[in-house]
Chains A and B, each alone.
Chain A
Amino acid sequence: MNDLELVERAKGGDQVAFKRLYDANVDRIYRLTYRMAGSDDLARDFTQETFLRAWQRLDQFRGDAAFSTWLHSIAVSVSLNGIRKADRHRKRERSLEDAAHLARTRAEVEPEVRERLQGAVDELPEIYRTVFLMHDLEGYSHGEIAETLGVAEGTSKARLFRARARLRASLGDAMQEYA
């Protein structure tokens, strides 16, 4: 059964069909929301909210784009709104687990350099950061990003260009040091 058939069943209230759509998409949605939010709690909330909204709005899905693309649009919107509201992505506190993780990697890389790299990504404007995370860290194509964000492919490419340029500008020394 393809996605369209599953969506049609789900529109009729079939939770089994909706579960299959969930199974097929949840990994990518969770990964993306986690990349954007940097916290398991927020990523879980955003992922759950994404699927709840999708369930409620299934009638609005016309099949013009792939179901996964439609779902990603919801996920990005939910995540950006949630992050703005919580304002935690820039000032988030490291969890104990993260602290342990950092301790393990201390010997591998210079922590200050790594912190600067991570901080530079945090500081990117939202529209550049989203494209950078999706393309360079999660491997989405510009076509997928464009459909998800509702922009032209050229816009996605331009935003990535600017994201990388900003990272280079703010991290020139650190990147060379790390590399």
Chain B
Amino acid sequence: MDDEPMGEEPIDPEVTEMLRGRYNAPPETPRDEMWAAIQARLEPRTATVHSLEDARARRRTASRRPLGWVAAAAAVLILGIGIGRMSAPLPQATAPVAPVASAVAPNAGVQRAATVNHLGRTEALLTLVRADARDGRVDPAMGGWARGLLSQTRLLLDSPNTTDPAMRDLLGDLELVLVQIVRVTEVEGVDQGRARTEMNLALQGLEDRDVLPRIQAVVPAGPGMAGT
């Protein structure tokens, strides 16, 4: 309000103040929920998103079949895990120590990047599911997404490079929550009331085990840490 129109003063300050406080007064910005929704819809920038409806429709379609990024991320994971297995120390006592360490380190780096990426995407899903649950909704489209993440979680748990006990605990908790989400969203014939109850139980477990804060501790900049 730097500059007033010439010859015109603001309407009564009290009226302005009332309108500021009452007229479509915005609540606190739902930053995390909106980012989760945006991040879930971000696509390679060469693709064109004409509208949010387009993006939603594309996500709904994509969630019914294997997603491109799921396949890509799974490929990276499998590559990292495969290389990790091939380069892991052999049981022979004569295996030299130094070459194994230098061979494993870069592969661990690849897997670390894939893990952070995976956790960011899982956080996005959980944030959306939680927001839906608050509104009393269970979106069946989340099931396909959760299933893809569940597969990757299990790949990571099976990887010899996942040695950090805290990370293994976190992945174990994620596996449990994702299994519950898949079950609630993909089982046909479950009535909505029961689905909501089961989802709330799954999310209660999420809260009890501080899953989201633990993810955020690994992904400090929030979801979207692809490849970093």
A binds B: yes
Binds A, one of B40-48, B76-84, B162-170: B40-48
B residues less than 8 Å from A76 (CB atoms): none
State how many residues of chain B have any CB contact under 8 Å with chain A. 47
Are the C-beta atoms of A160 and B5 separated by less than 8 Å?
yes
Once A19-B224, A31-B26, A48-B37 are accepted as A-B contacts, the answer to whether A136 and B42 lie under 8 Å apart by CB is no
Are the C-beta atoms of B29 and A26 separated by less than 8 Å?
yes
Interchain nearest-CB distance for A145 vs B (Å): 11
A residues less than 8 Å from B26 (CB atoms): 30-31, 34-35, 43
Are the C-beta atoms of B14 and A13 separated by less than 8 Å?
no
What residue of chain A has the Cβ atom nearest to residue B41's Cβ? Answer: A52
Interchain nearest-CB distance for B57 vs A (Å): 13
B residues less than 8 Å from A167 (CB atoms): 11
Within the assembled complex, what's the spacing in Å between the Cα atoms of A84 and B7?
33
What residue of chain B has the Cβ atom nearest to residue A59's Cβ? Answer: B45
Interchain nearest-CB distance for A171 vs B (Å): 8
A-B contacts at CB below 8 angstroms, number: 139
What residue of chain A has the Cβ atom nearest to residue B55's Cβ? Answer: A52
Interchain nearest-CB distance for A70 vs B (Å): 16
Are the C-beta atoms of B5 and A157 separated by less than 8 Å?
yes
A residues less than 8 Å from B33 (CB atoms): 44
B residues less than 8 Å from A30 (CB atoms): 26, 29-30, 34
Once A13-B44, A15-B42, A15-B224 are accepted as A-B contacts, the answer to whether A141 and B2 lie under 8 Å apart by CB is yes
Interchain nearest-CB distance for A90 vs B (Å): 12
Q: Which residues of B207-225 are within 8 A (CB) of A?
A: 221-225
Are the C-beta atoms of B15 and A117 separated by less than 8 Å?
yes
For the side of the interface on A, what is the size category?
Answer: 35 or more
0/1 interface trace, chain A 5-31, chain B, CB 8 Å (1 if under): 000000101011011101100110011
Are the C-beta atoms of A18 and B224 separated by less than 8 Å?
yes
Q: Which residues of B109-148 are within 8 A (CB) of A?
A: none
Once A15-B224, A15-B226, A136-B16 are accepted as A-B contacts, the answer to whether A114 and B22 lie under 8 Å apart by CB is yes
B27 at the interface (CB under 8 A from A): yes
Within the assembled complex, what's the spacing in Å between the Cα atoms of A99 and B109?
54
Once A160-B5, A178-B15 are accepted as A-B contacts, the answer to whether A35 and B24 lie under 8 Å apart by CB is yes
B194 at the interface (CB under 8 A from A): no
A-B contact pairs, 22 of them (CB 8 A): A11-B45, A15-B225, A19-B221, A19-B223, A22-B35, A31-B26, A35-B26, A37-B24, A38-B24, A43-B26, A45-B52, A48-B37, A49-B51, A114-B18, A141-B2, A141-B3, A164-B5, A164-B10, A175-B11, A175-B15, A178-B14, A178-B18
* Interface pairs A-B: 8 shortest CB-CB: A15-B224, A34-B26, A161-B5, A38-B24, A157-B5, A49-B52, A30-B29, A31-B26
